[in-house]
Every structure is written in C-alpha cells, then in structure tokens.
Chains A and B, each alone.
Chain A
Amino acid sequence: AQKVTQAQTEISVVEKEDVTLDCVYETRDTTYYLFWYKQPPSGELVFLIRRNSFDEQNEISGRYSWNFQKSTSSFNFTITASQVVDSAVYFCAHDRGSTLGRLYFGRGTQLTVWP
C-alpha cells in the first residue's frame, strides 16, 4: 500500500526563519509522482508542485524549494525567509502514476509563522 508520512505535526517559527517540512513516502513503483499542497486558514487546497520519479533535480520557486531524494524516499519542502502568510497546513501526496489517478495524502504539517 502507498504511504506518505509527514512526521512533523506542527512547526512554529518566527518570521524570516527558514523552515523545512519533511515528507517520506513508501512505494514499490518505479514510476510515480509526488505533490505538495498548501491549505491556508481560509481552507482551500492550493497546488504547489508536482515532481515525477525520474526527475531528481531540486526545484526552486521564489522562497520555496523542494529536495527530492529517491535514495531516502523523501521529498522535503523548504521555505526560506518565512512570512506570516506562509502559515498554513501543508500536505505531501503520492500518486502511483497508473490510470487509477489516485493521490494518497500525508496527514499534513501545520506551520505557524509568528511576526
């Protein structure tokens, strides 16, 4: 069975600190996809990134960066110079890449950034 583990339930930081959210997944597939979603206090789910299993290049988007390491089955998310607006629940998800199209989500990490 697919499994996604976000071991950090809650993280609190002060503005401008860097913070890393961990995500570890389990899979027997060679082809798969990994995602991060953000859920701000307003409740909607916002897509952040999608990564396929054949692309281990790190990705950077502004203050956000993602580190994908197949050797450790991890897909960690780092926010540099955090801001109050980054406060949200962040979900990591895994997709087997089959025609079933199902995403399996981790339990989420609540990030609180204090001013």
Chain B
Amino acid sequence: EAQVTQNPRYLITVTGKKLTVTCSQNMNHEYMSWYRQDPGLGLRQIYYSMNVEVTDKGDVPEGYKVSRKEKRNFPLILESPSPNQTSLYFCATRLAGGTGELFFGEGSRLTVL
C-alpha cells in the first residue's frame, strides 16, 4: 500500500527544545516536500527536495531545516522551536518532474509553548 508516514502525529513541546518530524514514503518518489497549514492561510510550502541531497527553500523556510540523505526519508528539523511554529505540518511526495497528484502524509500537529 502506497504510504507517506509522518511521526509524531501530535507533539507538544517548549520553546527552544530541538525536535524532528520524520517523513517516510514507500512509493520511490523523487520529490518530497513539507507544508504547514495555518487557519486562514491554507497550505504553505516550507522546503522541498527534488532528489537525494537536493533541497531548496519553499515560501516559509525560516526556522526550519531539512535533509535528504535517503530517497525515502525527508525529516523536518526545528532547531529552536518558537510559538509561531505551532501548526499542522504535512509531508508530501510526487514523482519528480511529474504533474500528477501530490500524496500527503496524515499530518503532524505541533504545539510549541
């Protein structure tokens, strides 16, 4: 079964405590991406990766890091989380250069106190 798996699904943390949200896909897709969803703002892209070792900033990259050491994994790192990073995060994948649908993970709800 095609899957995009995110962990954790829910997390409450405190300001400044580094955290990582993992994303793994089993569809052999080259392209992976992170979005955040906030009320009234829709989904905004944080970072994306066209393939292993190739990453680039999206529209709201400040305060985030990513890495792509393996094709299937694309972790999102918050080095020093702040309350304005409280959000619902989605990992997504698709074939590189493709224009088909974006496959989304189930989402990770992060609260930073």
Contacts and interface: CB of A to CB of B under 8 A. Distances in A.
A48 to B, nearest CB: 9
Contact of A101 (B41, B43, B99, B103): B99
Contacts of A95: 99
B104 interface: yes
Interface stretch (A14-22, A58-66, A103-111): A103-111
A102 B100 contact: no
Interface in B14-72: 31, 33, 35, 40-45, 48, 50, 58
A91 B99 contact: no
B90 interface: yes
Interface residues of B, number: 27
B104 A45 contact: yes
A95 B96 CA distance: 13
Interface in A78-104: 91, 95, 97, 99-104
Interface of A: 6, 9, 33, 35, 43-45, 47, 50, 52, 91, 95, 97, 99-108
Interface string B81-108: 0000000101000101111111110110
Given A9-B40, A44-B106, A107-B42, A50 B100 contact: yes
A102 B44 CA distance: 11
Given A43-B107, A44-B106, A35 B101 contact: yes
Contacts of A107: 40-42
Chain B CB within 10 Å, residue with most, of A99, A103, A108 = A103
